[in-house]
Amino acid sequence: MPNWSYLIARLISAIGSWLDASNLRNRVYQLDEENEILRTALEDVQRMDPEGRIGWYAKETLDHIAANRK
């Protein structure tokens, strides 16, 4: 005779894990989109102020990001 409480607990655990994975995947996609927006903003700042201090900071940040992505 199967232990029904054990099977139900396993089923609930599996459903919970599936939901957590789905939420995590959605969060990763959201963060990826936010990072792309921020990267684009930094590129725009760098392009608009290539010789100024803010442009320099934007370039340094983009270089730092590029170095960490490797």
Alpha carbons 16 and 10: distance in angstroms, whole number? 10
Query: Does residue 39 contact residue 32 with C-beta atoms inside 8 Å?
Result: no
Sequence-separated (6 or more) residues with CB below 8 Å from residue 49? 55, 58
Number of domains in the chain: 1
Query: Does residue 47 contact residue 28 with C-beta atoms inside 8 Å?
Result: no
Q: pLDDT for 17-69, tens place per residue?
A: 999 999 999 999 999 999 999 999 999 999 999 899 999 999 999 999 989 87
Residue 55 sits in which domain range?
Answer: 20-69
**Residue 5 is assigned to a structural domain of this protein:** no
| pLDDT at residue 1, as a whole number | 63
**Residue 4 is assigned to a structural domain of this protein:** no
Residue 4 has pLDDT above 90, yes or no: no
